Structure 1
Amino acid sequence: MARIAFIGLGIMGSPMAVHLHNAGHRVVGYNRTPDKTRALVEAGGSAAASVAEAVADADVVALMVTDTPDVVEILTGEGGVFETARPGTLVIDFSTIRPDVTADLAEQARRKGFRIIDAPVSGGEAGARNATLSIMVGGTEEDFAAARPVLDVVGRTVVHVGPNGSGQTVKAANQLIVAGHLAVLAEAVVFLEAYGVDTAAAIEVLGGGLAHSAIMEHKAPQMLDRSFEPGFRLDLHHKDLGIVTSAAREAGVVTPVAALAAQLVAAARASGDGNLDHSALFRTVARLSGRE
């Protein structure tokens, strides 16, 4: 059983840390908002007052934070992981950040004697709570093997996809696919409602055919009910689509659907929907037709 420092105990990180504690690991959590360590502490884990305190004794440091600058600060900043953790510590970054920055951080980690993998996840809050996340991992085969006892506790589908940065690249592709599905599903629901169709019945039959997807299964009910309690916030999807469009431009890849999805999500945020679930993209699509 490992000594794990878990940094970032939000909607996703908190249940993941609790699962690791329940699996027998010794988990110390740190969050900039200390109140968010409560669930881990109540489960029997412990809380630290700083990154340095959390990682001082750790075998593994896990990160689940919001954006690229957060990861850079936690790893390379004053009192950060690279300065205060023991050489040889395995760093698992569950966050979704830029692939190029991930590759650069991995090179810094190696020079300082650390092991590191990027392990962004898909599955949202439900996947974190049910330990059914899909985890796409970038790093060496050896570091991936060393991380499996941690990854297998929180994920159901755990796949090594290549060297450092590859996990983030695959996650960017995942977020493009999800955004495209959300936009098309929203259009379909608006279209069905405009014709007075029984939308619940329509979604049932569409879900039994080739149009079925996990997005339809989990997000169509939210659109039909106009219930957008956040499982994955539009603000975060906006950030992720920025990663997609930037990385595609750097690679010289044309992604017109990604550009359109990014603009729709940006419009949703501009309308004040950023803190809603990303299925609330429906509201923007409906507004464009004057139906919301």
Structure 2
Amino acid sequence: MTKVGFVGLGIMGGPMAANLVDAGYEVTGYNRSSAKVEKLVAAGGKGASTIAEAVSDAEVIVTMLPDSPDVESAVLGDDGVLAHAPDGALLIDCSTIRPEVSRAVAEQAAKQGVRALDAPVSGGEQGAIDGALSIMVGGEPDAFEAASGVFDVVGKTVVHVGPAGSGQTVKAANQLIVAGNIALVSEALMFLEAQGVDTESAFQVLGGGLAGSKVLDAKNKGMRERSFKPGFRIELHHKDLGILQSAARESGVATPVGSLVAQLMAAAVAQGDGSLDHSGLFRQIARLSGKE
């Protein structure tokens, strides 16, 4: 069995690690919250109390962490992944972070004989549970090929998009598109409700035409029922749009719609909705309409 060290067992990482266990990998997981580690152990994995314990004899190391500083600390830190990873190990970072941080990780990993990929994912909690994530991968082609077995377990659409940092760039574009979709579905729902239309049947027909999207299909029911249990939190999407805006500014690219949605996300976080699912952006649209 291939030994996998998994660092970060949250909403996304936990199901991904469990799927690797089910597929026959020997998975040792680490998480700052011991309850998440215990859940992996209950699923047949092994638990670690430190990063070193999780990765020191791993052939493949997967990290799924919230933000760039977390990756810098957990991977590049003095007692982090690269300080303990075996020579020849394969590092797959599935976090969504700044492209330049992924490039720094790849550069440092190469110096230490570790192959590194930035492989952010899309598909939310259900995609992680189902092993059906979309994965955009940056890094060397040989490392991508070496990671194919792991990707086949956790993902459905897996594409090598370029050198180190490219996966993060594509993920930023993904988050721009998703955020825009969520905002527009929210506005459409508010409009339909104000007009007294049956919203379930309205979204059924909208989903069958050009207005249809995966966001509309996945999020309209929760919005209609005002149920925003997090699959992907507003505060994380707010962070991701910050990555997009920074990278776009450096590239000289205007993102006027993205900037507006980023402000709506920021306002939602400021008003206490950051822990809600990102479809909870509907609440901000409702506030602006005087309906919440």
Alpha-carbon distance between aligned partners in 2 of 1:135 and 1:26, rounded to the nearest angstrom: 22
Amino acid of the structure 2 residue aligned with 1:171: K
Amino acid of the structure 2 residue aligned with 1:274: G
**Partner residue, 1:267:** 267
Q: Residues 54-107 of structure 1, C-alpha deviation per residue, up to 9 Å, x if partnerless? A: 111100110001000111111111221211111111000010000111112111
Is structure 2 residue 201 aligned with structure 1 residue 195?
no
Alpha-carbon distance between aligned partners in 1 of 2:38 and 2:144, rounded to the nearest angstrom: 30
**Partner residue, 2:114:** 114
**Partner residue, 2:156:** 156
Regions of 4+ moved over 3 Å? none
Is structure 2 residue 166 aligned with structure 1 residue 166?
yes
Alpha-carbon distance between aligned partners in 2 of 1:265 and 1:43, rounded to the nearest angstrom: 35
**SS of equivalent to 1:5:** strand
**SS of equivalent to 2:110:** helix
The alignment of Structure 1 onto Structure 2 pairs a total of residues equal to: 292
Deviates more, 1:249-258 or 1:79-88: 79-88
Alpha-carbon distance between aligned partners in 2 of 1:225 and 1:87, rounded to the nearest angstrom: 51
Alpha-carbon distance between aligned partners in 2 of 1:213 and 1:11, rounded to the nearest angstrom: 23
Q: Residues 7-54 of structure 1, C-alpha deviation per residue, up to 9 Å, x if partnerless? A: 000111111101101111100000011111122101211101100111
**Partner residue, 2:70:** 70
Alpha-carbon distance between aligned partners in 2 of 1:201 and 1:84, rounded to the nearest angstrom: 55
Is structure 2 residue 250 aligned with structure 1 residue 250?
yes
Alpha-carbon distance between aligned partners in 1 of 2:190 and 2:289, rounded to the nearest angstrom: 8
Alpha-carbon distance between aligned partners in 2 of 1:105 and 1:113, rounded to the nearest angstrom: 12
Amino acid of the structure 2 residue aligned with 1:238: H
Alpha-carbon distance between aligned partners in 1 of 2:85 and 2:120, rounded to the nearest angstrom: 22
**Partner residue, 2:16:** 16
Amino acid of the structure 2 residue aligned with 1:200: E
**Partner residue, 2:32:** 32
- Sequence identity, in percent? 61
Amino acid of the structure 1 residue aligned with 2:85: A
**Partner residue, 1:233:** 233
**SS of equivalent to 1:136:** strand
Structure 1: where are the runs of 5+ without partners?
Answer: none
Once the two structures are TM-superposed, the CA of residue 112 in structure 1 deviates from its matched residue by 1.6
**SS of equivalent to 2:160:** strand
Alpha-carbon distance between aligned partners in 2 of 1:280 and 1:35, rounded to the nearest angstrom: 27
Once the two structures are TM-superposed, the CA of residue 111 in structure 1 deviates from its matched residue by 1.3
**SS of equivalent to 2:37:** helix
Once the two structures are TM-superposed, the CA of residue 2 in structure 1 deviates from its matched residue by 1.2
Q: Residues 138-164 of structure 1, C-alpha deviation per residue, up to 9 Å, x if partnerless? A: 011100000010011000001100011
Alpha-carbon distance between aligned partners in 2 of 1:64 and 1:20, rounded to the nearest angstrom: 14
Alpha-carbon distance between aligned partners in 2 of 1:74 and 1:178, rounded to the nearest angstrom: 28
In the TM superposition, 1:42-191 aligns within 5 A as 42-191=42-191
Alpha-carbon distance between aligned partners in 1 of 2:215 and 2:238, rounded to the nearest angstrom: 17
Is structure 2 residue 213 aligned with structure 1 residue 213?
yes
**SS of equivalent to 1:49:** coil
Once the two structures are TM-superposed, the CA of residue 271 in structure 1 deviates from its matched residue by 1.2
Alpha-carbon distance between aligned partners in 2 of 1:265 and 1:42, rounded to the nearest angstrom: 36
Alpha-carbon distance between aligned partners in 1 of 2:30 and 2:82, rounded to the nearest angstrom: 16
Alpha-carbon distance between aligned partners in 2 of 1:37 and 1:52, rounded to the nearest angstrom: 15
Alpha-carbon distance between aligned partners in 1 of 2:208 and 2:143, rounded to the nearest angstrom: 41
Amino acid of the structure 1 residue aligned with 2:194: A
Is structure 2 residue 291 aligned with structure 1 residue 276?
no
**Partner residue, 1:287:** 287
Amino acid of the structure 2 residue aligned with 1:255: T
Once the two structures are TM-superposed, the CA of residue 211 in structure 1 deviates from its matched residue by 0.4
Alpha-carbon distance between aligned partners in 2 of 1:244 and 1:67, rounded to the nearest angstrom: 13
- Under a length normalisation based on structure 2, what TM-score does the superposition of the two structures give? 0.99
Alpha-carbon distance between aligned partners in 1 of 2:83 and 2:31, rounded to the nearest angstrom: 18
- Under a length normalisation based on structure 1, what TM-score does the superposition of the two structures give? 0.99
Once the two structures are TM-superposed, the CA of residue 196 in structure 1 deviates from its matched residue by 1.0
